[in-house]
Amino acid sequence: MRAPERGALPRGVAGTLERAYGRITETVQGLSTADFGRETRCSGLAVGPLLVHLLYDAQRALIAFASPAVAEPNRDFVSYWRDFPPGSSGDTHFALGVAAAYRKPGVLVQHWREVSEAAVRAAARAEGRVETQGHVLAVKDFVATLVLEATVHHLDLTLNLPNAPEPDPEALRLTVRTLDGLFGPAAWDVIKWDTTTYVLKGTGRVPLDDADLDMLGAHAERLPLLG
């Protein structure tokens, strides 16, 4: 079994969130209306609606940072995701409706930039614990969940955007730490994917091939680890 620190959170998670959100901004700025209609890896959401989903995730973060909790944490950066199993219904129809209300992609991008940058500033100042979606998390754990969301959806966005930047490397590694936690130590030594492939296949964005099935053995039945 690999060293237990594989599952630990690194220092400076707020900085990782800043870079993860910044790469998304780089990805969407300057895109055309046609680009915002391109298919992504996120089922049912084109680029524009997926950016709306991310925008509201950053807005939820702002609310959470303004809602400090006194109760003990009941979730960490791994167990939080067990409430969102693969196939969970999301806010697809809501995101589609909101995206349609933006007449120009640039307006949506500017709104995303303002909210995401405010969320990063709040993350850098936040301490203690926050409450979100009925759970209490330490700030560091909560920020890690935001990094995962941003990183996975960055990869979703870039399906048909070949000139888009890659996700931040530390954000990818942090996302893999979360997937490791969901998989459990028994699976760690069999996984030979690079970080991007791990994220894509671990979340069901890319199907497993025969080599993957041979590598994973019985562990393959547990994929995808989250939706």
User: What are the extents of the domains in the chain?
Assistant: 9-170
| Cβ atoms of residues 147 and 175 within 8 Å | yes
Tell me: pLDDT of 5 over 60. Answer: no
Cite the DSSP H helix spans in 126-164. 139-157
Tell me: pLDDT of 3 over 60. Answer: no
- Any idea which architecture 9-170 has in CATH? Up-down Bundle (1.20)
How many residues are present in the chain? 227
Three-state DSSP class for 146?
A: helix
Q: For residue 8, what pLDDT band results from cuts at 50, 70 and 90?
A: low
| Backbone angles phi and psi of 68, in degrees to 5 | -60, 145
Q: Which two tokens stand for residue 11?
A: 């220092």
pTM summary value: 0.94
Give the pLDDT confidence of 62-94 residue by residue, as tens digits: 999 998 999 999 999 999 998 876 765 567 888
